[in-house]
Structures are given as C-alpha cells and as structure tokens.
Amino acid sequence: MYEMLCAGCGHRTAMMILDEIIKEKNIKEKIIMALDVACCSLLIDYVDYDAIMCAHGRVLDVTKGYKMMRDENIVISYMGDGAAYSIGIEEMIHSARRNDAVLAIVINNGLYSMTGGQVAPTYVGANVNAGVNVNVGVNVNVGADVNVGANVNAGADIIRPIVVTNVDTEGTKLSEPVSNDNNIGFKIENIIGNLPISYFARASITDKENIDTAKKYINTAFDKYIKSGGFNLVELLSPCPTNYKLKPVDMVNVINNGWSKVYKIGEIVNNV
C-alpha cells in the first residue's frame, strides 16, 4: 500500500494502538471512525472498518448525530489539536458539558500539520526550555508606523512557526524546561476539567513505555464508553517530524524532555 504518513508520524502509532484494542475487544463490526480533515483524514485509507470524514472541527457534532441515530455503534472521534481545541472548541466544551457519549482521541502536535505547520493553541515549539516561545507570532507590523513587539517584519507570512531547536541531529541537548508557566500551550483540562465528564487522560506516543501507557488509557476510555457512555477523551502528545524539521528520534526527545513537562501526563479526570 502507498505510504501517506511521513516517517516518524504519531498518527501511525495512534492508529496501531486503536487497531490493537479493537482486535483485542473483537468489536470491529461496531466501529465507526469519525475523522477530522487534514492528516487525520489519511487514516481512512489505512483502517478496515467503517469511517466518516467530517468537516474541520465538527467531529463531535457528527459523533453526536450519529449516536442519536445508531446508538449500537462505537464511534471513535479522531481529531487533531487544531480541530479539537481551536476550530472545534465550541463543540468540545458543550459536548463535555452535556457529558455526551464520546470516545475521543486528540492528536496534539501543536500544529496544523497538513497545511504547512501553522501554530495551534497547543503550540509549545521544540525549544520549550526557553520558557516562552518568542518565535510565535512576533513578526507583526500593523500599518506603517505601528510596531507590536520587538521583532517587526513586514510581510504576510506571520503565523508560520519558526521552530528553533537546541537539539542537534546527533542527540538531545535540551536542558530542563520551564514547566510551570500556564501560558505555554493550551491545556484542555483547564476548560473541561471541572465539567461532569467521564474521563480525560493524556499520554505521549514516543517510545514503548509511553505507548503502553497510552494504550492503557485508551483502553480505559473504551471500557467506560462501552459500559456507561459519557465523555471520554484521551490526548496524545504526538510527533510531527516533518513540520518541526527534526529527525524522528530528535522529535521524540523534544516530546519526552520538553512537551511532557509542560503538559501533565496521566489520568487527569476519572469519574465513575
């Protein structure tokens, strides 16, 4: 089969975890994958169960409509962070508020990847140990005489991330990142953590240990969803080596040593 995902892409890992769980639970015939557009949509050619392609950011609304129609199906809502937490944030909040029957996977790589790497609210960059990502959106020039920020640059391309990394291609040189700055990266638990949801967990999909943990959390989300419905979300910190212009192994180091310190890993909400 023609390979569409880039080398080292986290979507492939997420898809393999889902595939394992579906096989282990023997629930393939009940599965519907509700896929967002962009790189998520590429999965439609990999999976051998039914799938729906949704408009950008509208996966949870499609999921709700589908479940109202055919409650017997297990609908996996599969989205990127831009779709889930920016374009689709209304759906996310209200679906969580209602504790809709949701089994959602959000791939968090900080970017809108397929369209070239525009930053999502979750962006923390590859150089998170600097504490503040000064490279995001600082090149702003409004009118001829108004300068916003220190680095003024005329031109239209102001939102494409300029990723600066202190990781070389021979290995990581990351120092301890700043982890307590709540302004770095958008954390969905700050929005839905106090709503009456069933489950929210975050894992990374970088190496065997973390992938095993991710599988455990996704398994729990499946079990809770199948048993009693409710809003179940697992966010996966996920590599996108292409847009960060890193070797896959260096991307893994960025997530393990940087992003995982900014974003809390673990089961963050686990209600009965």
Considering only residues 223-262, where is the footprint of ligand SF4 by CB under 6 A? Answer: 240-243
Q: How many CA atoms lie within 13 A of 131 on its CB side?
A: 3
- Is residue 124 a contact residue for ligand SF4 (CB under 6 A)? no
Interface with ligand SF4 (CB under 6 A), residue from 113, 204, 206, 260: 113
Per CB under 6 A, which of residues 31..60 are in contact with ligand SF4?
Answer: 39
CA 167 to chain CA centroid, Å, is 22
Stretch that binds ligand SF4, among 44-52, 107-115, 217-225, 261-269 (CB under 6 A): 107-115
Contact status, residue 63 vs residue 215, Cβ threshold 8 Å? no
Task: CB nearer to ligand SF4: give 6 or 234.
Answer: 6
CB of 246 to ligand SF4, least distance (A): 10
Tell me whether residue 139 or residue 243 sits nearer to ligand SF4 (CB atom): 243
Verify binding: residue 122, ligand SF4, rule CB under 6 A: no
Q: Both tokens of residue 135?
A: 């490279």
**Of 82 and 177, which has the nearer Cβ to ligand SF4?**
82
List contacts with ligand SF4 (CB under 6 A).
Answer: 5-6, 9, 11, 39, 109, 113-114, 240-243
